[in-house]
Amino acid sequence: MNKKEVFELKSRFKKSGCTFTKLCGCYVNADKEILINFSETFLNLEEEEFYKYLDIAKKTLSGTMGNNLIELNFPLEEEKAGGRQQFLMGLRESKLKNEGLLNTFYQQIIDSYDYAGNYLILVFHDAYDVMTKTTDNAKLDESEEVFEYLLCAICPVELTKPGLGYLENENRIGPRNRDWAVGAPDTGFVFPAFTDRSTDIHSVMFYTKNAVEPHKELMELALGCPAKSTATEQKNTFQKIINNAINDSEMSKKVFSDIQESLSGLKEEQANLVDSYEEPVRLTNESVQEILVESGLSEEITAKIESSYAENFSEEPPAIDYLIDKKLLAENEKRKVEKALMEQVHILKEKLEETTKAASASPFDTDAEDLNQERNANYDVVLQVKPEKMDQIKSQIIDGKKCIIIPMDEHEHATVNGVADLM
């Protein structure tokens, strides 16, 4: 599934477009005991409940692809009789009307879900009539297929915070009653996946609110799929590989920052070579070698990083986008701009100092004289007078020609082109 297909499903979770047929669930306490289970025809729910459950369904398809939403694939053995994929197929085909299958499903979640508190397990059934789309995404009035799927959400249930409130029966302010409130989903999944706008029974879209510590036990034990790391986990692993190899906090920070710049450039470079914009650009072992060579690290450190990278990402190279720290790149860009501005200020200061020095230099200063000659090369007449004479200089037309008039007192003298005492 890609983000467009996720959005297509999610955009239907509203009053006018919702086609959920059934909602079932159970409430589990911290001792892993089911306190209550229920089954409802979704469209018959009270309006307030209807919208609350829709919000939960929406959140189970929220977040970033590859980080909060991860596509898992079933091994072949799970698609055989007795496998967990086959069990989910049966649960879907029952349209959540088989109480025995539902109880078995709840127990599978309870037995594998590593959570200390109370929580609510919800399962939605939907049948989406997928409309044909043209190449420009315009909908045609005909159906390609009916996408029948289950959406499961696991929501923590916690006591509301203590506080004061208005006690209407006693007409006073007093301690507010605490109750158990259902929170946003912590984990969930959609089965089957909606790949290429069609049913993909070989995959499941897994949701995790916490991308740092997802519930991988649910991926493996409840769904029977090999666990996958989130983008956040992959980025943290990549940074640990560099830190462990360099073993110097300051140096590793600098190297990681430089590598981030290289990754960003590599992503842009390789993205132009990928035919489909949906295809992620991955960091292969060969690309890692190229980046490390550019970083100027020693052969020993480079070998450690390459070996650890190949070991940690042996099954599938991570997408480059998952390894990029956008916050760090933004900080790097800010530092570059600040550095460029400081350099410009330094250059302007130097130019200002040169200009000031030239303006105040003695007329006998050789360097200043050469500079003045260069600047005045385009003028036919160049005057140099003492500051007190500036206000006395006038321009006048004499016999039809422009003339410069400089009054001279008896004690004053003048030179023109080095010829002394012309007055």
> Each residue's pLDDT tens digit in the chain (423 positions)?
888 999 999 999 988 888 999 999 999 999 999 999 999 999 899 999 999 999 999 999 999 999 999 999 999 999 999 999 999 999 999 999 999 999 999 999 999 999 999 999 999 999 999 987 766 655 665 677 899 999 999 999 999 888 888 888 888 888 888 888 999 999 999 999 999 999 999 999 999 999 999 999 999 999 999 999 999 999 999 989 988 888 877 888 888 888 888 888 877 776 666 554 456 788 888 888 888 877 777 888 888 898 999 989 888 888 888 888 888 777 777 877 887 888 888 888 787 777 777 666 555 455 555 655 665 666 677 777 777 777 778 877 887 787 888 888 877 878 776 665 555
Query: Are 202 and 251 part of one and the same domain?
Result: no
Please tell me the distance from the alpha carbon of residue 367 to that of residue 277, in angstroms, as a whole number: 62
Query: Are 31 and 130 part of one and the same domain?
Result: yes
Query: Are 185 and 57 part of one and the same domain?
Result: yes
Determine, yes or no, domain membership for 329: no
Query: Are 40 and 69 part of one and the same domain?
Result: yes
Tokens of 151: 């959406």
Tokens of 388: 């007190």
Determine, yes or no, domain membership for 136: yes
User: Cα separations (Å) of 60 from 56, 107, 122, 246, 352?
Assistant: 6, 21, 11, 40, 62
Query: Are 312 and 392 part of one and the same domain?
Result: no
- Out of 276, 299, 324, a domain closes at 324
Determine, yes or no, domain membership for 359: no
**What is the residue range of 130's domain?**
3-228
Please tell me the distance from the alpha carbon of residue 364 to that of residue 372, in angstroms, as a whole number: 11
Determine, yes or no, domain membership for 133: yes
- Out of 195, 228, 261, a domain closes at 228
Give pLDDT, residue 423.
54
Give pLDDT, residue 276.
46
Query: Are 79 and 223 part of one and the same domain?
Result: yes
Task: Identify which of 125, 108, 97 has the alpha carbon closest to the alpha carbon of residue 28.
Answer: 108
Do the Cβ atoms of 140 and 129 come closer than 8 Å? no
Determine, yes or no, domain membership for 376: no
Determine, yes or no, domain membership for 48: yes
Instruction: For residue 68, report the phi and psi dihedrals to the nearest 5 degrees.
Output: -90, -25
Query: Are 48 and 159 part of one and the same domain?
Result: yes
Give pLDDT, residue 351.
79
Query: Are 218 and 255 part of one and the same domain?
Result: no
Give pLDDT, residue 103.
96
Please count the structural domains in the chain.
3
Query: Are 99 and 24 part of one and the same domain?
Result: yes
Give pLDDT, residue 415.
77
Query: Are 8 and 139 part of one and the same domain?
Result: yes
Query: Are 157 and 16 part of one and the same domain?
Result: yes
Helix, strand, coil distribution of the chain in percent, nearest 5: 40, 25, 35
From its phi and psi, is residue 65 left (phi > 0), alpha (psi between -120 and 50) or beta? beta
Determine, yes or no, domain membership for 358: no
User: Cα separations (Å) of 169 from 143, 172, 173, 178, 179?
Assistant: 57, 8, 11, 17, 18
Question: Which residues are within 8 A (CB) of 163 and not within 5 positions of it... i.e. 6 or more apart?
Answer: 175, 176
Tokens of 294: 């550019």
Query: Are 218 and 249 part of one and the same domain?
Result: no
Determine, yes or no, domain membership for 366: no
- Out of 297, 324, 351, a domain closes at 324
